[in-house]
Amino acid sequence: MKKLTMIAAAAFLLSLTANAQLRTLAGDTICTNCSVNQIAEKKGYKFTGIYATTIGSAFGVVIYEQLSGKPLFVDAATKAKVPLLLNKFKAEKYKGSNYFFEDIRTMVEEGKLTDLYLIEKVGKPEKVSELVENGRNISVYQYAKLGLTVYFYNSVAVRYIREQV
């Protein structure tokens, strides 16, 4: 039953990306029934995530830049819901959250996480080291405060470790 609920939630979130009522962070309408991905790409955002939540009985979404946690747009029925959604997203403290680590996992699995993107969005690692694995030089970036270690081969993340902080 839990798996079915997760599948239904994922299908619902995917439908949001195609039928959004996107608003700026100030609440102005960007478009209605538009694709989040198309708008994000037009604005130059390569990797976006979706934070879905409820405010009372209403449902809303914050579309954010992966790894930086910077809110980009909001999918909300009314302008009045925008600050409420942004405050709820901010309260989650994105970096180090389950959303953050889900974004890391997805980007690593899809081969999209590069060392430069990680540094640009998260900051310089606290420790960088090198190791040789199966004849390959692997760079290891450690972010102890986040409980994150990422392994890169040719500047692309090949795996990561999440540690309890």
pLDDT digits (tens, 9 = 90+) for 78-127: 899 899 999 988 867 888 899 999 999 999 999 999 999 999 999 999 99
H-helix or E-strand spanning residue 139: strand 136-143
Give residue-wise pLDDT tens across range 144-165. 999 999 999 999 999 999 998 7
- Check residue 2 and give its pLDDT: 43
Helix (H, G, I), strand (E, B) or coil at 63: strand
Residue 165: the pLDDT is 77
Q: In sequence order, which ranges of the chain are alpha helices (DSSP H)?
A: 2-18, 36-42, 81-91, 98-109, 115-122
> Could you give the C-alpha distances from 67 to 39, 56, 82, in angstroms and in order?
19, 28, 21
The strand pair at 71-75 and 58-65 is best described as: antiparallel
What amino acid is encoded at 127 in this protein?
Answer: K
Instruction: Return phi, psi of residue 32, to 5°.
Output: -120, 140
Confidence band for 132, pLDDT divided at 50, 70 and 90 = very high
Sheet holding 58-65, edge to edge: 29-34, 20-23, 71-75, 58-65, 48-55
Comparing 33 with 1, which gets the higher pLDDT? 33
The model's pLDDT over 11-20, given as tens digits with 9 standing for 90+, comes to 444 444 556 7
